[in-house]
């Protein structure tokens, strides 16, 4: 019995001892390997960077004529690290070295792996390497069953660039997954002018989902060359297409589009009106102020809010119109005017003027504040009554609010 | 002031060690003396102590960000005229405008083109370090 117990204790102790030794040895080995890796990186990185900044056709002479097996991982890490931080000639040279040393072949093989994370990783690395010979394979990976692999392949195609990559990426905009469409739209927008003509050419063949994304991309790229084409989209039978076209025109900011956007304000569909209003504000089209004032009475909140916001963006002329809207017959229009005048700081600036005992500025300030009170929107005024640093202003405001509250209560 | 004559001193401030090494090698190969700082606080300390002829700085850095450093340099008596080039991932119009308005002389978006960065550095150095 005693012997069995001793043997059990010894075997458990031995196992623990062995495990401790194994853990310590493993950690020591890993640390030694990392330290060796850092030392190799310090030794190899300047050579690789000299190659990147230089004129040599190959990286191999800088590495002593051949790539040692033990250095493969370190060299790959250095090349990929730098390739993703630069563009232009240096990136091309680093990409060429990645291909020359056989890494691209490895990534291409990785695209066929059964493990999805290896396929995703390989696609990503092909993009960093800018491996244009991988374009066709990456295009095929766009139909990978795993969404993460598809997205990394799309990103890689965006980095590889070129006409061959654009078509499949545009096609991928029709992905049913909205998240994927957003990511692909980001990639295409990042490719800038290169994708503009292709997007326009493919537009009629796209589903609605992709068409809307394409219009957003064109707006983000802000290419003046598509303004005429976007104006034609304002008569598209689909309301969402018309709305996004308005948005894109506003984003591009061509002031000549003012009249067509002004016309779009009377579109029968509210999303189009809302986007037209927003765009008119972005391009500061002053002649649209009367129509925007009218849009502030629209039955749809988005139209009212965007119209008021547009007038705020138009500066003093828009602000004057917003002040006039404080006396409008429509309660919703009055509320939007209050919100915008508060947001633009007009109310605060007028309240600041109450320190004056008289004069035209004081009268104008009082007049505006009384109109706010009549509308019944006094939240900001009450805040200022409590927080304004000037006691004269607080006193004047208290007097006006007291009088006015009674008037407002009786009037409405 | 050229790279070939008296050694022009450039401070590279970037918390990304890979990017910092890339820029340091690039500038070092062209004959510039390169100082590297990995955070904003360290960058300002080096700048005040070693008076670089030009500063290449990232915007997002620990302790003190690039905007803060630029402001501090512009307010520092002996550094006020030192040209500053921002090299940043921030590519939004408002960041670029803010960077230039804060006092930077030029703005390069990452990933950057090495030759373009070199050309901008040379141009600013040739201008004699004045901020116009």
pLDDT tens digit string along A75-108?
999 999 999 999 889 999 999 999 999 999 999 9
Residues A280 and A265: beta-carbon distance below 8 Å: yes
Task: Looking at the complex, report in whole angstroms how far the Cα of residue A227 sits from the nearest Cα belonging to chain B.
Answer: 21
- Residues found in chain B: 132
pLDDT of residue A404: 46
B65-120 confidence digits (pLDDT tens): 999 999 999 999 889 889 999 999 998 888 999 999 999 999 999 989 999 999 99
Mean pLDDT of A315-329: 94
Structure tokens at A167: 């078509």
Structure tokens at A95: 């990409």
Nearest CA in chain B to A128: B111
Rounded distance, CA A390 to CA A393, Å? 5
pLDDT of residue A310: 96
3-state helix, strand, coil in chain A (%, to 5): 80, 0, 20
pLDDT of residue A66: 85
- A89 part of contact set with chain B, CB < 8 Å: yes
**Mean pLDDT value across chain B:** 89
Size of interface A-B (CB pairs under 8 A): 44
The percent of residues above 70 in pLDDT, for chain A, comes to: 97
A332-368 confidence digits (pLDDT tens): 999 999 999 999 999 999 999 888 777 888 889 999 9
By three-state DSSP, how is residue A106 classified? helix
pLDDT of residue A124: 96
Residues B108 and B116: beta-carbon distance below 8 Å: yes
Task: Looking at the complex, report in whole angstroms how far the Cα of residue B34 sits from the nearest Cα belonging to chain A.
Answer: 14
pLDDT of residue A405: 42
pLDDT of residue A248: 97
User: Is there a cis peptide before residue A26, judged by omega within 30 degrees of 0?
Assistant: no
Residues B34, B40, B45, B51, CA torsion sign: positive
Cβ contact A53–B114 (<8 Å): yes
Nearest CA in chain B to A46: B25
- A42 part of contact set with chain B, CB < 8 Å: no
Rounded distance, CA A48 to CA B18, Å? 13
Mean pLDDT of A309-331: 94
In terms of Cα–Cα distance, which of B35, B49, B127, B45 is closest to B81? Answer: B127
Spatial CB neighbours of A234, under 8 Å, sequence gap ≥ 6:
A242, A245, A246, A260, A263, A264
Chain B residues whose CB is inside 8 A of the A49 CB are 21-22, 25-26
In terms of Cα–Cα distance, which of B28, B32, B18, B2 is closest to B87? Answer: B18
Structure tokens at A255: 């002031």
The percent of residues above 90 in pLDDT, for chain B, comes to: 77
A123-163 confidence digits (pLDDT tens): 999 999 999 899 889 988 988 999 899 989 989 998 888 77
| Range B63-71, long-range pairs (CB < 8 A, 24+ positions) | B63/B39, B64/B39, B64/B40, B65/B40, B66/B13, B66/B40, B66/B99, B67/B98, B67/B99, B67/B102, B68/B40, B69/B13, B69/B40, B69/B43, B69/B44, B70/B99, B70/B102, B70/B103, B70/B104, B71/B102, B71/B103
CA dihedral angle for residue B122, residue B123, residue B129, residue B132, rounded to 10 degrees: -170
Which range among A42-51, A187-196, A240-249 has the greatest average pLDDT? A240-249
pLDDT at A378 exceeding the cut of 80:
yes
**Mean pLDDT value across chain A:** 90
Is ipTM > 0.85 here? no
In terms of Cα–Cα distance, which of A183, A175, A121 is closest to A158? Answer: A183
Mean pLDDT of A30-36: 91
3-state helix, strand, coil in chain B (%, to 5): 45, 20, 40
Rounded distance, CA A226 to CA A34, Å? 53
Residues B23 and B14: beta-carbon distance below 8 Å: yes
> Exposed (0-12), middle (13-18) or buried (19+): which is A32, by Cβ within 10 Å?
exposed
pLDDT at A409 exceeding the cut of 80:
no
In terms of Cα–Cα distance, which of B1, B3, B40, B4 is closest to B12? Answer: B40
By three-state DSSP, how is residue B84 classified? strand
Distance of CA A266 to the CA centre of its chain: 30
For B91, list phi and psi in degrees, rounded to 5: -115, 10
List C-alpha distances in Å: A366 to A191, A333, A341, A358. 54, 21, 15, 10
Lowest mean pLDDT among A76-85, A168-177, B41-50, B72-81: A168-177
pLDDT at A412 exceeding the cut of 50:
no
pLDDT of residue A294: 95
pTM of the model: 0.71
Cβ contact A86–B25 (<8 Å): no
Cβ contact A89–B114 (<8 Å): yes
Please, how many CA atoms are within 13 Å of residue B78, restricted to the half-sphere of its CB?
Answer: 10
Greatest CA separation for chain A: 110
Interface of B with A in 5-64 (CB under 8 A): 16, 18-19, 21-22, 25-26, 29
Chain A residues whose CB is inside 8 A of the B25 CB are 45-46, 49-50, 53
């Amino acid at each position: 019995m005693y012997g069995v117990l001793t043997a059990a204790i010894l075997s458990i102790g031995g196992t623990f001892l062995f495990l401790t030794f194994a853990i310590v040895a493993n950690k020591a080995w890993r640390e030694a390997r990392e330290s060796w890796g850092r030392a190799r990186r310090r030794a190899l990185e300047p050579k690789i960077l000299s190659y990147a900044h230089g004129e040599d056709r190959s990286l191999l002479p800088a590495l002593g004529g051949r790539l040692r097996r033990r250095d493969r991982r370190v060299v790959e890490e250095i090349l990929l690290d730098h390739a993703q931080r630069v563009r232009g000639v240096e990136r091309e040279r680093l990409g060429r070295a990645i291909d020359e040393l056989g890494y691209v072949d490895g990534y291409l093989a990785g695209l066929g792996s059964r493990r999805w994370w290896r396929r995703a990783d390989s696609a990503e690395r092909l993009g960093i390497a800018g491996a244009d010979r991988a374009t066709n394979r990456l295009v095929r990976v766009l139909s990978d069953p795993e969404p993460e692999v598809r997205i990394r392949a799309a990103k890689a195609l965006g980095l590889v660039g070129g006409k061959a990559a654009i078509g499949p990426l545009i096609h991928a905009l029709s992905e049913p997954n909205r998240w994927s469409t957003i990511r692909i739209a980001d990639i295409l927008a990042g490719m800038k002018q290169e994708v503009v003509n292709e997007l326009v050419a493919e537009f009629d063949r796209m589903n609605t989902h992709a068409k809307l994304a394409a219009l957003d991309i064109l707006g983000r790229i802000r290419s003046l060359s598509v303004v005429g084409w976007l104006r034609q989209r304002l008569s598209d039978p689909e309301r969402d297409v018309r709305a996004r076209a308005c948005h894109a025109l506003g984003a591009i900011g061509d002031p000549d589009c003012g009249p067509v956007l002004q016309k779009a304000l009377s579109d029968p569909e509210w999303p189009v009106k809302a986007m037209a209003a927003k765009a008119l504000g972005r391009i500061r089209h002053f002649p649209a102020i009367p129509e925007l004032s009218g849009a502030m009475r629209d039955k749809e909140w988005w139209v009212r809010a965007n119209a008021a916001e547009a007038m705020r963006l138009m500066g003093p002329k828009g602000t004057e119109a917003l002040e006039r809207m404080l006396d409008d017959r429509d309660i919703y229009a009055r509320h939007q005017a209050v919100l915008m005048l508060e947001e633009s700081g007009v109310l605060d600036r007028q309240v600041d003027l109450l320190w004056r005992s008289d004069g035209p500025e004081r009268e104008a300030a009082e007049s505006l504040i009384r109109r706010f009170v009549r509308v019944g929107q006094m939240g900001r005024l009450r805040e200022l009554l409590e927080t304004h640093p000037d006691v004269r202003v607080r006193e004047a405001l208290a007097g006006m609010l007291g009088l006015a509250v009674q008037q407002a209560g009786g009037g409405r | 002031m050229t790279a070939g004559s008296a050694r022009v001193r450039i401070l590279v401030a970037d918390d990304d060690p890979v990017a910092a090494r890339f820029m340091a090698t690039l500038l070092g190969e062209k004959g510039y003396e390169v100082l590297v700082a990995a955070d904003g606080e360290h960058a300002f300390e080096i700048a005040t102590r070693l008076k670089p002829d030009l500063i290449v700085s990232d915007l997002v850095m620990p302790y003190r960000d690039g905007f803060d450093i630029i402001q501090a340099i512009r307010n520092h008596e002996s550094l006020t005229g030192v040209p500053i080039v921002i090299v940043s991932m921030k590519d939004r119009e408002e960041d670029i405008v803010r960077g230039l308005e804060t006092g930077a002389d030029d703005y390069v978006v990452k990933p950057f083109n090495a030759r373009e960065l070199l050309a901008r550095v040379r141009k600013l150095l040739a201008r004699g370090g004045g901020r116009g």
